[in-house]
Chain A
Amino acid sequence: MSKIIELKNVNKWFDKFQVLKDIDLEVAPQEKIVICGPSGSGKSTLIRCINRLEEHQEGNIIVDGTELSESTKNIEKIRAEVGMVFQQFNLFPHLSILDNCSLAPIWVKKLPKKQAEEIAMDNLKRVQIDDQALKFPGQLSGGQQQRAAIARALCMEPKIMLFDEPTSALDPEMIKEVLDVMVDLAKGGMTMLVVTHEMGFAKEVADYMIFMDEGKIVERAKTKEFFENPKSERTKLFLSQIL
């Protein structure tokens, strides 16, 4: 089966501190992968390397057949195909929710305004906040904002979705509404890489689990096996602390 994301021997340093060590990872289309690990283990950095919000210094990252390198054209093309959802939502506060969603399709994909807004409304309906379309981000609750951010990413019709701790900044009662949207997305066949501590979500949708520590992938296993029969001691310790 062809791979949509390939990381070969990726190394990355922040100054002298090595954040990613010899990362090898392959993701097939429609696969859902949940990445977990203690804070500072490099999991956010790893997925941010996939759309080059962070640059890697060694190794190769190939996304959908295109190698990520210095050339800017490639990077913008890749970023348009890879949706990203952030911990802090990062909606554009000066634009309405509808404009947040239709802006990139209009200016990056060059769609006509009307068509872009139709796509935006469809996606807002999908995350069930189409009734908030004309409000500004500051008027929405955290859960609604994060769902709007997911809709904004979906409007670019990405092949891959990256989630960087999407529920960590939310109040407990709002986590579920965001996770429901993500489960729905997973069932629709989207390729997803999710950094999260929500193990219930992981058990429900993930094909594979990845456990990272100190910049290395410690364990990569099928979800069931990962939770029932973890191999490394480090993973066992981690799971015993969060489950």
Chain B
Amino acid sequence: MNLILKPSKDNIKTYVPIGLFLVSLSLLDVFINAFFSFNLFDFLPSQISYFLPLMLGFIGFYLIRIEFSGVRSLDILNKNINSNNFNALLTLLTIFIIIKSIPPMLDWFILEANFAGNSKDDCTGDGACWVFIKVWFNRFMYGLYPDAEQWRINTAFLILFVIVGVSFFVSEKLKKYFILFLVFVFPFLGIKLISGGSFGLEYVESAAWGGLSLTFIISAFAILFCFPIGVILALGRRSSLPAIKYISIGFIELWRGVPLITVLFMSAVMFPMFLPDGTFIDKLIRVLIAITLFEAAYMAEVVRGGLQALPKGQYEAAKSLGMGYWRMNALIILPQALKLVIPGIANTLLALVKDTPLIFVVGLMELAGMIGLAKTNPKWLGMAMEGYVFAGLVFWVICYAMSRYSQNLEKKLSTER
């Protein structure tokens, strides 16, 4: 005996409204409970009242599960989140958890959070103490760089953004010069501006650099150099000349096998011991070289994957037209291989950006490092959560932008339509 008929096209007119009503009721109950701490079904015994939304939603979802109903939105709903009883249950639980978690998050981030004031004592609410970020913001951006000289960092980044911005609107030919300038001239110009020591600019030693600007500087330089070195290593590993091949393999395997933190420590502590007396290489430069070579080893393997994916015929066709090794690779092989591995390259570069906080082991403090320093300040103890949530958000924004850019690049370069 069937208590209720199986939902089908015949009873769609009655079942769907009832089902939708039950699902809505269950969601409404959870919503009111989460946001206003009021229980709609308080009159029922507590166990039943507790599970009622789940039961109502479950029955509702059962009633609207009609195959080939002919109603487009209903079909899409059923296919994606309501394909069987188990999935309906999962859907309900997921929605409940999301609804339930919104109020406390809203409270901590905004409603109960403290924005006004300039010391820890101003944070009286239960939520986050954003005053901490506000007060330390300057240090989080510029590290220990002297306040009066910070316009130099701003100028350098402003020039960068302006050039990048303008380059989107100029002709292809002009764009080429913009890119050449950005890659070969600007980095050194920018560093000169920030470090100073000439043109009447006060010298600021690299130990004072820090915060988000240092994150950007290290990431940008490491990306700029690790990419070509990685490509050369990838080609080297596939070379037919044994010397080049084994040097490349040795280099890649050595750097890939060592943790970055060890490499950084050695670059700062051990490396100077091997230098002749009197020679001095700036700590930041040593760290940059270490990160660059480390990431280049990873980059090499990513690029090699792309090289291996190309059919042999591409090499033969290029050779048959009289192209030598370098022309063949520059014009035919690398453009295709690099396009194939854009996701892998983006992966490596994102990892690079997120690895930069490790430079704290040698005493350099970029964004996360500065936050680590600030939270141990006696006047600001207990601010770790606010600090790291902020760092997380900033890193996420940077990395998400990079990820989107790589996806756009992939689409733009796709020629297989």
B332 contacts partner chain A, Cβ-Cβ < 8 Å:
yes
Nearest-CB distance from A79 to chain B (Å)?
Answer: 4
B336 contacts partner chain A, Cβ-Cβ < 8 Å:
yes
CB neighbors of B among A130-157 (8 A): 136, 138-139, 149, 152-153, 156
Q: CB within 8 A of B416: which of A81, A88, A107, A138?
A: A138
Complex: how many Å from CA A93 to CA B317? Answer: 12
CB nearest to B321 among chain A residues: A104
- Chain A 78-105, CB-CB to B under 8 Å as 1, else 0, gives 0111111010101111100000000110
Nearest-CB distance from A226 to chain B (Å)?
Answer: 28
Given contacts A88-B313, A108-B327, A136-B417, contact A94 B321 (CB under 8 A): no
A72 contacts partner chain B, Cβ-Cβ < 8 Å:
yes
Query: Using Cβ atoms and an 8 Å threshold, which residues of chain B touch A91?
Result: 317
Q: Are B324 and A104 in contact (CB under 8 A)?
A: no
A53 contacts partner chain B, Cβ-Cβ < 8 Å:
yes
Query: Using Cβ atoms and an 8 Å threshold, which residues of chain A touch B332?
Result: 92
B316 contacts partner chain A, Cβ-Cβ < 8 Å:
yes
Complex: how many Å from CA A142 to CA B322? Answer: 24
CB nearest to B310 among chain A residues: A93
Q: Are A103 and B331 in contact (CB under 8 A)?
A: yes
- Chain B 391-416, CB-CB to A under 8 Å as 1, else 0, gives 00000000000000000000001011
B339 contacts partner chain A, Cβ-Cβ < 8 Å:
yes
Query: Using Cβ atoms and an 8 Å threshold, which residues of chain A touch B317?
Result: 84, 86, 90-92, 149
Q: CB within 8 A of A94: which of B323, B324, B339?
A: B339
Query: Using Cβ atoms and an 8 Å threshold, which residues of chain B touch A138?
Result: 415-417
Nearest-CB distance from B103 to chain A (Å)?
Answer: 52
Q: Are A86 and B316 in contact (CB under 8 A)?
A: yes
Query: Using Cβ atoms and an 8 Å threshold, which residues of chain B touch A152?
Result: 321
Q: CB within 8 A of B314: which of A79, A82, A90, A104?
A: A90
Q: Are B327 and A94 in contact (CB under 8 A)?
A: no
Interface-central residue, A80, A82, A93, by most chain B CB under 10 Å: A93
Q: Are B322 and A79 in contact (CB under 8 A)?
A: yes
Q: Are B417 and A108 in contact (CB under 8 A)?
A: no
B319 contacts partner chain A, Cβ-Cβ < 8 Å:
yes
Given contacts A76-B322, A80-B321, A94-B339, contact A136 B316 (CB under 8 A): no
Nearest-CB distance from B177 to chain A (Å)?
Answer: 18
Interface-central residue, B316, B319, B320, B327, by most chain A CB under 10 Å: B320
Q: CB within 8 A of A79: which of B321, B336, B415?
A: B321
CB nearest to B316 among chain A residues: A53
Q: Are A53 and B319 in contact (CB under 8 A)?
A: yes
- Chain B 305-321, CB-CB to A under 8 Å as 1, else 0, gives 00000010110111111
B228 contacts partner chain A, Cβ-Cβ < 8 Å:
no
Query: Using Cβ atoms and an 8 Å threshold, which residues of chain B touch A86?
Result: 313, 316-317, 320
Complex: how many Å from CA A4 to CA B91? Answer: 76
A231 contacts partner chain B, Cβ-Cβ < 8 Å:
no
Complex: how many Å from CA A152 to CA B324? Answer: 17
A77 contacts partner chain B, Cβ-Cβ < 8 Å:
yes
A167 contacts partner chain B, Cβ-Cβ < 8 Å:
no
Nearest-CB distance from A103 to chain B (Å)?
Answer: 6
CB nearest to A51 among chain B residues: B320
Nearest-CB distance from A220 to chain B (Å)?
Answer: 25
Given contacts A103-B331, A136-B417, contact A90 B316 (CB under 8 A): yes
Q: Are B336 and A94 in contact (CB under 8 A)?
A: yes
Nearest-CB distance from A49 to chain B (Å)?
Answer: 13
Query: Using Cβ atoms and an 8 Å threshold, which residues of chain A touch B331?
Result: 103, 107
Query: Using Cβ atoms and an 8 Å threshold, which residues of chain B touch A72?
Result: 324
Q: Are B322 and A77 in contact (CB under 8 A)?
A: yes
Q: Are B415 and A93 in contact (CB under 8 A)?
A: yes
Q: CB within 8 A of B320: which of A77, A84, A93?
A: A84
Q: CB within 8 A of B327: which of A107, A136, A156?
A: A107
Q: CB within 8 A of A107: which of B323, B413, B417?
A: B323
Nearest-CB distance from B308 to chain A (Å)?
Answer: 17
Query: Using Cβ atoms and an 8 Å threshold, which residues of chain A touch B335?
Result: 94
CB neighbors of A among B289-344 (8 A): 311, 313-314, 316-324, 327, 331-332, 335-336, 339
Complex: how many Å from CA A6 to CA B311? Answer: 31
Nearest-CB distance from B337 to chain A (Å)?
Answer: 10
Q: Are A108 and B322 in contact (CB under 8 A)?
A: yes
Interface-central residue, B313, B314, B321, B339, by most chain A CB under 10 Å: B321
Query: Using Cβ atoms and an 8 Å threshold, which residues of chain A touch B316?
Result: 53, 84, 86, 90
Q: CB within 8 A of A93: which of B318, B321, B324, B336?
A: B336
Interface-central residue, B311, B314, B317, B413, by most chain A CB under 10 Å: B317
Q: Are B324 and A90 in contact (CB under 8 A)?
A: no
Query: Using Cβ atoms and an 8 Å threshold, which residues of chain A touch B416?
Result: 93, 136, 138
Q: List 28 A-B contacts (CB under 8 A).
A: A53-B319, A76-B322, A77-B322, A80-B322, A83-B320, A84-B317, A86-B313, A90-B313, A90-B316, A90-B317, A92-B314, A92-B332, A93-B415, A93-B416, A94-B339, A94-B413, A103-B321, A103-B331, A104-B321, A107-B327, A107-B331, A108-B323, A108-B327, A136-B416, A138-B416, A139-B417, A152-B321, A156-B321
Supply 17 further A-B pairs (C-beta < 8 A) apart from A84-B320, A138-B415, A152-B321: A51-B320, A80-B321, A81-B322, A84-B317, A86-B317, A88-B311, A90-B311, A90-B314, A91-B317, A92-B314, A93-B336, A103-B321, A103-B331, A108-B321, A136-B415, A149-B317, A156-B321
**Which residues of A are interface residues toward B (Cβ below 8 A)?**
51, 53, 72, 76-77, 79-84, 86, 88, 90-94, 103-104, 107-108, 136, 138-139, 149, 152-153, 156
Q: List the 9 closest A-B pairs by CB distance, nearest first.
A: A80-B322, A90-B317, A104-B321, A90-B313, A84-B320, A79-B322, A136-B415, A108-B322, A138-B416
